[in-house]
Amino acid sequence: MVLGSSAPATLLKSPREIEIMARGGVILHATLMHLKDQVRAGISTLELDQMCEAFIRSHAGAEPAFKGLYGFPGSACISINEEVVHGIPSRKRVLRDGDIVTLDVGVKLDGMYTDSAITVPVGEIDEETQRLLDVTRASLDAGIAAAVADNHVGDIGAAVQAVVEAAGFGVVRELVGHGVGFSPHEELQIPNYGKPKRGKKLSVGLTIAIEPMVNVGTAKIRTLSDKWTVVTADGKRSAHFEHTVAITEDGPRIITLP
């Protein structure tokens, strides 16, 4: 038995709206590549955040989607090592050789939103950490491949979960991907675990952020006293990769690539 109705029609985007998102996605990808090039030992997360905002605003009509969202103070969520997501940029948070840093950024362009994230090494990293990055990227690829019309949300989560757990890592369950487009976070949730043919059915015109968050150890997390920064419960490292994806008649279209 197949469970789950189709995603609400109110979430579906027209071809024109998807093209606007795609233009924003090009800016967002360029922003992340610019920040990746700046990642080095000795730079603070505040400096990276300032570069992020300046780069986005250098494109006519583009704005940082996260700046002030729900009261968040930065233009980018910048999370280091055991920080899973929502790290607050700070001049006191300075990158060191061997760290990994997640750069999670959103762009608003002509009223439409896109969302993407990468985790990058600072200098040389150990073998286990490199495997964490490789597996997390591979799990995102698997999730995207499952994002086809008439599949279900559960197909995406099951694909991500299979890659992560086969590698012996933990996939975060309390945090999920989401619909995106008309707003930074739309009501549809995209978990990184699940069972095939369960959950909402994916329809042409749906745009979603698929974002595996993968931990070396336990999948469990906790939130720090700043009420934003989410860390692994065991203090081990976490990686996070994300793309905005449109469901099309020709298969998944990654919006946050050139």
In this prediction, residue 225 carries a pLDDT of: 97
For 44-68, the pLDDT digits (tens) are: 999 999 999 999 999 999 999 999 9
In this prediction, residue 2 carries a pLDDT of: 38
In this structure, whether the domain defined by 9-254 belongs to CATH 3.40.50.11740 is answered with no
> Is 104 known as a binding-site position?
yes
> Is 99 known as a binding-site position?
no
User: Hey, how many other C-beta atoms are within 10 angstroms of the C-beta on 92?
Assistant: 7
> Is 63 known as a binding-site position?
no
> Is 134 known as a binding-site position?
no
In this prediction, residue 1 carries a pLDDT of: 32
Which residues of the chain are modeled with pLDDT < 70?
A: 1-5
In this prediction, residue 4 carries a pLDDT of: 60
> Is 126 known as a binding-site position?
no
Task: For the chain, state the CA radius of gyration.
Answer: 17
In this prediction, residue 8 carries a pLDDT of: 77
Are 90 and 44 spatial neighbours (Cβ–Cβ below 8 Å)?
yes
- The amino acid that residue 255 corresponds to is I
Rounded CA separation 106/182 (Å): 13
Query: How do the domains of the chain map onto residue ranges?
Result: 9-254
Phi, psi dihedral angles at 130 (to 5 degrees): -65, -40
pTM as predicted: 0.95
